[in-house]
Amino acid sequence: MLERYYVRPETVDRIRSSWIYDSVDRYVRWLTEQKYNSRSVFRRIPLVVSFGDFARAHGAESLDVLPRYIEPFIDARVAERGRGRKSAHWRKRVSQGIRNPIQQMLHLIIPGFDGRGPRKVENPFEGLAPHFFVYLRQERGLRESSIRHHSHYLHQFASYLQSIEFQDLRQLSPPVLSGFFSEFGQHRGRGTVRGACSVLRGFVRYLYRENILAKDFSSVIEHPLTYRLSNVPRSITWDEVRRMLESVDKRTPLGKRDHAILLLLVSYGLRAREVAALTLDDMDWRNERLRVPERKAGHSTLYPLSPIVGEAILDYLKMGRPQTADRHIFFRTLAPQAPMTQSAVSGTASRYLRKAGVAVSRAGSHTLRHTCVQRLVDANVSFKVIGDYVGHRGPAATRIYSKVAIESLREVGCGDGEEVLQ
């Protein structure tokens, strides 16, 4: 199998001499089965062999201990390649490029390995505030998920400081903080900005406590006010839905898949997670039914299978879906051959909305979900029925749509307000 990717005999011999060769060989076969191109295989194999050499040099004697060497190996490789480069974005990108092949191989060879391994949450301000995450864990008692939340927003802040060539965090001032939030909030919702405010306020307080800052500027970071039911759901018109569907090239396997996904989203108001989780077992072709299990409300929903949706799914199953033992319906079209993720489903909706020229804020799968609900509201379907149909956890989630009764508002605009208000 190695000779398929490497011409030089000494390269093949070098790989075969590795103490983890059996694992590497299994990984090569998996990459081939998953339709990775030759260049990807050519680049990944030397990396995992080097990882094996590193682990052996640092005391590894069996495969089951390899996960503990992932992060030290990444640190060593990044340090070796990144001399003179201090960009947090560069380190993050390179680290993930190293981590991914190693995780893939370990997932194949170590039972129970979840494919991720122990990831180190990176502090972009390690040089000046190296113990901030220790403070969050030990003094504030935050979980790792919350630490990752802090890391995400701190990386956003670090990238902004780099973009304005601000190098000394000890010179931080209110104008710099104000500039960051002015830029950060341009294309983000209030909830996201509010999360960034909370993280930065805590970080600034910590810097002051540690005498890194001479003054505590945390009070100048004000949370944006948010109100429940303050925003109108982002729906689109049915003509725009048709334009979006017509923009799909259904002659290709990708188009067949995406057409079926878009129809599921807009016809049933499914969430991206629910579409990604659908399996062949959820399709009852004989009785023309579709089952959506494990909804957000904790129950399953059984729908009548619309002929147009059923035909689209069947077309994809026959002409687009790869041959695999996995029961998931929707798969990636690029290597590795794997079921689609929630983000991939939402990205599919976003891509075709843009392609069709549909202007909507934060376009994605929820745009089509909102459109489905709004169409039911316009048809005077009761909110209880709508909530059950789209799997809302409670009536409050559906009630927001009472703010907009589009057809009634149109009647008011046309002069029939008295009848509407009666």
Q: Is 271 a catalytic residue?
A: yes
Q: Is 392 a catalytic residue?
A: yes
Structure tokens at 84: 């003179």
- From 91, 259, 271, 295, the catalytic residue: 271
Measured between alpha carbons, how far is 116 from 379 in angstroms, rounded to an integer?
46
- From 321, 366, 370, 375, the catalytic residue: 366
Reference 51, options 12, 28, 18; nearest CA is 18
Q: Is 401 a catalytic residue?
A: yes
- From 257, 295, 321, 392, the catalytic residue: 392
Name residue 303's beta-bridge partners: 290
Q: Where are the alpha helices (DSSP H) in 110-247?
A: 132-138, 144-163, 174-184, 190-209, 238-246
Reference 330, options 258, 407, 420, 244; nearest CA is 258
- From 91, 99, 250, 369, the catalytic residue: 369
**Which stretch of DSSP H or E encloses residue 284?**
strand 283-284
Cis peptide before 336 (omega within 30 of 0): yes
Measured between alpha carbons, how far is 241 from 219 in angstroms, rounded to an integer?
46
Kindly write down the DSSP assignment for every residue of 85-99, as one continuous string.
Answer: ---HHHHHHHHHHHH
Longest Cα separation, the chain? 87
- From 81, 131, 143, 296, the catalytic residue: 296
Q: Is 369 a catalytic residue?
A: yes
Structure tokens at 13: 């011999």
- From 6, 27, 69, 401, the catalytic residue: 401
Q: Is 296 a catalytic residue?
A: yes
Kindly write down the DSSP assignment for every residue of 366-395, as one continuous string.
Answer: HHHHHHHHHHHHHTT--HHHHHHHHT-SSH
- Residues serving a catalytic function are 271, 296, 366, 369, 392, 401
